[in-house]
Amino acid sequence: MNIFSIFKRKTSSQIAKDRLKILLISDRVNCSPEMMELIKNDIAQVISKYMKIDSTSMEVQISKTGSSGRNGKKMPVLYANIPILDLRD
């Protein structure tokens, strides 16, 4: 065990927070983490038809604090962060 592993060790509160974030996504929209993974792969496939993307570092998540819906209620949004690879390189 080197000195860096002390810094890297996750505290149990961090573990709890990480677990909750994943758990609540599936709870909120009744969508399991596996299904999110499938959605992510499908999006990557479609987008990569048109441009070069970095599918390994893309993120897809559902967050609650989206835009307001028709009756002013917060709507969940599907948020995708897809890095586009620069073709000039």
The residues that bridge with 63 in the sheet, in sequence order, are 77
- By rule CB under 8 A, what string of x and - marks binding of each residue 27-66 to other proteins? xx-----------------------------------xx-
Region from 6-14, 36-44, 51-59, 77-85 binding other proteins, contact rule CB under 8 A: 6-14
Q: Which of 5, 12, 57, 67 binds other proteins (CB under 8 A)?
A: 12
Q: Whose structure tokens read 């992510």?
A: 40
Rg (CA), the chain: 17
Return d(Cα 24, Cα 36) in angstroms, integer: 13
Residue type for 36, please? M
Residue 21 touching other proteins (CB under 8 A):
yes
Residue 23 touching other proteins (CB under 8 A):
yes
In a 3-state reduction of DSSP, which class is residue 15?
A: helix
**Total of residues contacting other proteins (CB under 8 A):** 19
Q: Whose structure tokens read 């961090």?
A: 14
Nearest 5°: phi and psi at 40?
Answer: -60, -45
The footprint of other proteins (CB under 8 A) covers 6-7, 11-14, 16-17, 19-21, 23-24, 27-28, 64-65, 73-74
